[in-house]
């Protein structure tokens, strides 16, 4: 995503936005997302720069045809605050782009109607329902060769079912934490409420509410699910010739193994056993289930025999039931807790920063330099907004798991890319060298330097 000139000459490159700036624009201006105070500060700073230098934001969600423009967004001054608007004469955003549906300044006394008709497009799929498989028969002519392997390699392998869960978690703002001025860790109840809000205010492309397919009620039995499926099946607006109708159950599970996902609600256990087993993010059979609790999603389908069955499951560890941010490892939970405590300490001192926010990226991010794209997937991004007009600091924080040579080499390359997007901090500090310093004191010294 770039800043480009509005005229003289229209579209001329000014500079590339850093990842934390792009994230803030997505959070603040996308209809799907929620933002923290730090995001708003970052976005306002960008709007100010656009205003002063007469710039537009050029989005990179599409690859335009020869001679056409990428989507441009301009700043418009609203009654309450400035916002972004798509320049209609420029290219159109991709439907999956967070800026595809920009927040408009809401007028009148009916503020919710706008959100109700907007489809939420999941990352990595054309729609929320999977393609129907042809009856089990192999036709070698139909095997599609895999392309762009090198690109695929860098993206964390999350199955389509997992991407649905992560898309909802992101839309519900559960991978973002405001650490100051308000501390916004979301516990189980608030997290489920936020997901339910997304489900009841967003639709698929054809207008079906997500709440007709997804439920946060893990206590539903096969009979209840059968009823939900029947309702979907009787709806005439779904193209059932090529889409598999499914019901999804989402929740925070207590126990996860390769065979089952168990929810504990008011002391009662509710077990789901997917026939195609459970895929657990970053875990193999030797350590499956060691990071509870888990964000979990289960897919129910109707079988050839007409009976409802649990088809597949996916689980992704959460920090805890009091702080439901998704995490990739136990080590990452520790890093996250050090970050939260350190920020709390900083904010209780004299002259605290104006705002601090934390992002746990759930999808890979693009970093562009000299026209070359690299994909990175930082563990955490911490944005610190100092008081006054000091520069906003963006820390990219990486939890280092191993010191195997191959891992050190691979990380060395991605760390180089991360360093151009912000100040890279590793836990432990100085990795792969040994360090005397604790991550806590290392992080604190950097935050204090940023707000001085
Ligand atoms: Zn776009």
Positive/negative CA dihedral, 83, 210, 361, 157? negative
Q: Give the number of C-alpha atoms closer than 13 A to the C-alpha of residue 80, restricted to the C-beta side.
A: 5
Distance from the alpha carbon of residue 241 to the mean position of ligand 1, in angstroms: 31
Distance from the alpha carbon of residue 16 to the mean position of ligand 1, in angstroms: 14
Kindly give the confidence (pLDDT) of every residue in the chain, 452 residues in length, as a single tens digit, with 9 standing for 90 and above.
999 999 989 999 999 999 999 999 999 998 777 888 999 999 999 999 999 899 999 999 998 888 889 999 999 887 777 888 999 999 999 888 889 888 765 443 333 333 344 667 777 556 788 888 765 555 544 444 444 444 434 444 788 899 999 999 999 999 999 999 987 789 999 999 999 999 998 888 778 889 999 999 999 999 999 999 999 988 766 666 778 899 999 999 999 999 999 999 999 999 999 999 999 998 887 888 889 999 999 999 999 999 999 999 999 999 999 999 999 999 999 999 999 999 999 999 998 999 999 999 998 888 888 888 888 999 999 999 999 888 999 999 999 987 778 888 888 889 999 999 999 999 999 888 888 899 999 999 999 999 98
Distance from the alpha carbon of residue 62 to the mean position of ligand 1, in angstroms: 7
Distance from the alpha carbon of residue 323 to the mean position of ligand 1, in angstroms: 31
Distance from the alpha carbon of residue 95 to the mean position of ligand 1, in angstroms: 8
- What's the distance, CA 396 to chain centroid? 16
Cα 19 from Cα 71, distance rounded (Å): 18
DSSP bridge pairs for 74? 85
Q: Give the number of C-alpha atoms closer than 13 A to the C-alpha of residue 380, restricted to the C-beta side.
A: 32
List, in order of start, the domains of the chain with CATH numbers.
Answer: 2-105 (no CATH), 160-175+185-317 (no CATH), 330-451 (3.40.1350)
Distance from the alpha carbon of residue 181 to the mean position of ligand 1, in angstroms: 30
Distance from the alpha carbon of residue 92 to the mean position of ligand 1, in angstroms: 7
Distance from the alpha carbon of residue 141 to the mean position of ligand 1, in angstroms: 35
Distance from the alpha carbon of residue 83 to the mean position of ligand 1, in angstroms: 15
Distance from the alpha carbon of residue 212 to the mean position of ligand 1, in angstroms: 28
Count CB neighbours of 34 within 10 A: 17
Residue whose token pair is 């860098």: 154
């Amino acid at each position: 995503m770039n800043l480009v000139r509005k005229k003289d000459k229209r579209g001329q490159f000014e500079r590339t936005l850093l990842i934390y700036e792009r994230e803030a624009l997505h959070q603040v201006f996308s209809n799907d997302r929620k933002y923290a105070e730090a995001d708003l500060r970052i976005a306002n700073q960008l709007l100010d720069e656009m205003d002063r230098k007469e710039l537009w934001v050029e989005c990179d969600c599409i690859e335009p045809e020869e001679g056409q423009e990428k989507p441009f967004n301009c700043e418009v001054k609203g009654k309450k605050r400035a916002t972004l608007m798509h320049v209609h004469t420029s290219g159109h955003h991709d439907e999956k782009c967070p800026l595809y549906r920009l927040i408009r300044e809401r007028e009148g006394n009916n503020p919710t109607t706008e959100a109700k008709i907007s489809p939420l497009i999941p990352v990595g799929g054309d729609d929320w329902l999977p393609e129907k498989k042809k009856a089990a028969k192999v036709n070698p002519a139909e095997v599609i060769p895999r392309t762009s392997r090198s690109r695929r390699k860098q993206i964390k392998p999350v199955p389509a079912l997992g991407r649905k869960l992560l898309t909802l978690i992101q839309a519900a703002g559960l991978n973002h934490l405001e650490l100051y001025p308000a501390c916004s860790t979301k516990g189980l109840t608030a997290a489920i409420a936020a997901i339910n809000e997304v489900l009841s205010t967003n639709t698929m492309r054809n207008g079906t509410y997500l709440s007709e397919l997804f439920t946060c009620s893990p206590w539903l039995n096969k009979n209840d699910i059968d009823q939900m499926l029947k309702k979907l099946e009787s709806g005439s607006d779904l193209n059932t010739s090529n889409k598999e109708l499914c019901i999804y159950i989402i929740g925070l599970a207590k126990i996860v193994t390769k065979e089952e996902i168990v929810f504990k609600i008011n002391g009662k256990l509710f077990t789901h056993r997917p026939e195609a087993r459970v895929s657990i993010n970053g875990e193999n059979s030797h350590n499956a289930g060691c990071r509870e609790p888990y964000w979990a999603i289960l897919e129910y389908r109707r079988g050839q025999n007409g009976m409802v069955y649990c088809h597949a499951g996916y689980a992704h560890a959460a920090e805890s039931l009091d702080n439901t941010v998704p995490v990739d490892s136990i080590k990452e939970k520790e890093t996250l807790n050090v970050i939260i405590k350190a920020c709390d300490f900083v904010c209780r001192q004299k002259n605290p920063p104006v705002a601090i926010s934390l992002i746990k990226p759930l999808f890979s991010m693009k970093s562009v330099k000299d026209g070359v794209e690299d994909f990175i997937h930082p563990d955490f991004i911490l944005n610190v907004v100092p008081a006054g007009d000091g520069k906003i600091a963006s820390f990219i924080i990486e939890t280092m798991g191993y010191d195997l040579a191959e891992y050190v080499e691979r990380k060395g390359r991605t760390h180089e890319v991360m360093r151009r997007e912000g100040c890279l901090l590793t836990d432990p500090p100085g990795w792969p060298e040994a360090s005397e310093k604790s991550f806590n004191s290392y992080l604190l010294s950097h935050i204090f330097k940023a707000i001085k």
